[in-house]
Amino acid sequence: MKPITVALLGCGTVGGQVVRLLDEQADDLTARIGAPIELAGIAVRRPDRHRDVPKELLTADAAALVASDVDVVVEVIGGIEPVRTLLLDALRAGKSVVSANKVLLAENAGELFAAADESGADLYFEAAVAGAIPLIRPLRESMAGDHITRVMGIVNGTTNFILSAMDETGAGYGETLEEASRLGYAEADPTADVDGYDAASKAAILASIAFHTRVTAGDVYREGISAVTAADIAAARTLGRTIKLLAICERVDDAVTVRVHPAMIPRSHPLASVGGAFNAVFVEAESAGQLMFYGQGAGGAPTASAVLGDLVTVARNRVAGGRGPRESAYADLPVRPISEVSTRYHLSLDVADKAGVLASVAAVFAEHDVSIAAVRQEGRVEDASLVIVTHAAPDAALRSTVDKVAGLPAVREVVSVMRVEGEES
């Protein structure tokens, strides 16, 4: 049996686990594929720092490794360049590619798929979204005969750990972020996670597959969690809700909406019980109904598991002479801006405790055709506040309402604004 030769780009947290699993499961992988897997080389920046890897496998010349006589290129480096060029070279040469690179796929998936189509190579990327959770393959293969209407999920473990801890302890955002960093759940620079960039890239990939439309990270409306306060968490608890950073992809009529932002959801919703650094994605389809995918969304071994799953698939295709699914972007639906998306808001207003305040606030809502679902007053005199939950309305109307309410003489401050998802209460 001729071996399937593999070039590995990167040997960090995930790459190191890929090497380990290839060694430990060599016999099983051979049986599953019908041919042995042979690791031809590993490209790293500093070969001298990887003393636990056979020296003869290491190289600092990634381009030469990709250009060598290998069947599959596995990429776990991340970033755009030089990875984009390396993977395009591999695909154009007919070499299958397995990638965990969410940022690259969210920006350049169309270009990569075009190169794969031209040469007949495979492009697989299960590990790019939600780590070990089988999600990409079910969406683009198992549900290929269905009509997906909505994909909503928790796709970033760092933010979920922070919000879950805030909900459990009542602590503020800053101190919880420090604890997450101490425990290793947050990077030294957590910007990509806490500002929603990581989740936005994943949302773009999910929307592209679910709705057969090319969606890039730039099409995704994005808000992070740094403005979420302990008071917001407490307010959500009062309403029987919790706060999660959600990636929400929807098909509405003949358009797509894709957004990432914190939102209050009912504690009865399946996503509400997803704690710690775990991920979960809730999928709604016309025929299949509601499905939920749950598991570890990051980490070396979980992500390496997804990488190996893809590697087994492309290797089987090589042995059998077949090909995996191609890009499906035939629908080519427009992506609507957040201003046109129908959402609900939870507002907390610091107000003067005097007659007519509620009437003046309600008049602004009526002026913008935004219906109030629930309202209550908390505190008295200097500590008076109004808490309002709206019915669904265009986001632009809600924003305009909030801006005008903030200028009312009786409103001292708009303390917080939070979107609300889930069943209306």
Residue found under tokens 């972020």: 177
Report the alpha-carbon distance of residue 361 to residue 348 in Å, rounded: 12
CA 143 to chain centre: 19
Task: Report CA-CA distances (Å) from 124 to 324, 336, 380.
Answer: 8, 28, 59
Residue found under tokens 């051979």: 30
| Residue (of 131, 185, 137) closest to 17 by Cα position | 131
Say if strands 241-252 and 393-394 run parallel, antiparallel, or are unpaired: unpaired
| Sign (positive or negative) of CA dihedral 349, 351, 353, 354 | negative
Active site (annotated) includes residue 404: no
> How many residues appear in the chain?
425
Residue found under tokens 């679902």: 373
Q: Which two tokens stand for residue 356?
A: 């007519």
Cβ neighbours of residue 111 closer than 8 Å, sequence gap 6 or more: 84, 88
Identify the active-site residue in 95, 202, 244, 354: 202
| Residue (of 241, 227, 240) closest to 174 by Cα position | 227
Which residues are designated catalytic?
A: 202
